């Protein structure tokens, strides 16, 4: 469950809360969770107030999401507010943001 104070996982017995930890690159980028999406490969994409992270179930950590900039032709970390995330059968990821144009 996404909340204004982190991501909460309930396993049937207890809650585990994932929050941003400054300086920890394996934590979520921000505590304000806007959207959660599971893609066809089972990856959990978490859209926050300051970027997107993909949850690693094995290590119980997060890795940042990237996009290929059409301007610089470089891979850049997604640091903008992500209001919506969805995907299609071909594993393309679609992100809705609040007015930020990265393409």
State mean pLDDT over 47-69: 90
| pLDDT bracket for residue 98 (50, 70, 90) | confident
User: Residue 26 contacts by C-beta under 8 Å, 6 or more apart in sequence?
Assistant: 56, 59, 61, 62, 63
Residue 10 has pLDDT above 90, yes or no: yes
Residue 83 has pLDDT above 80, yes or no: yes
State mean pLDDT over 55-72: 88
- 97: buried, middle or exposed (CB in 10 Å: 19+, 13-18, 0-12)? middle
The chain-wide mean pLDDT, for the chain, equals: 90
Looking at per-residue confidence, does 64 or 71 come out higher?
64
């Amino acid at each position: 469950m996404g909340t204004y104070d982190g991501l909460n996982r309930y396993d049937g017995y207890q809650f585990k809360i994932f929050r941003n930890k400054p300086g920890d690159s394996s934590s979520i980028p921000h505590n304000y969770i806007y959207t959660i999406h599971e893609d066809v490969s089972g990856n959990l994409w978490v859209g926050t107030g300051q970027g997107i992270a993909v949850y690693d179930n094995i290590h119980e950590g997060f890795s940042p999401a990237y996009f290929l900039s059409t301007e610089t032709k470089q891979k850049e970390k997604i640091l903008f507010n992500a209001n919506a995330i969805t995907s299609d059968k071909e594993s393309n990821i679609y992100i809705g943001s609040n007015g930020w144009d990265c393409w």
